[in-house]
Amino acid sequence: MTMQNSFNLSKHRIEALTDGIYAVAMTLLVIELKLVNIDAIKLMRN
């Protein structure tokens, strides 16, 4: 394996790792979302 191929391979691995980290972070953020209470919105409008 040449130096250029080695660099490209490690670059792709780092990109895949960061994609995985972002995916986990986004999943945790979505899980933490709470549904808005509809009654509270109606009270705020009145």
* pLDDT of the residue at 15: 92
State the pLDDT at residue 11: 86
- What's the pLDDT score for residue 14? 92
* Total-model pTM: 0.55
Count the domains in the chain. Answer: 1
pLDDT of residue 1: 55
Q: What is the DSSP string of the chain?
A: --HHHHHHHHHHHHHHHHHHHHHHHHHHHHHH--PPPHHHHHHHH-
pLDDT digits (tens, 9 = 90+) for 1-46: 566 666 667 888 999 999 999 999 999 988 876 666 677 777 777 6
Q: Residue 9 sits in which domain range?
A: 3-45
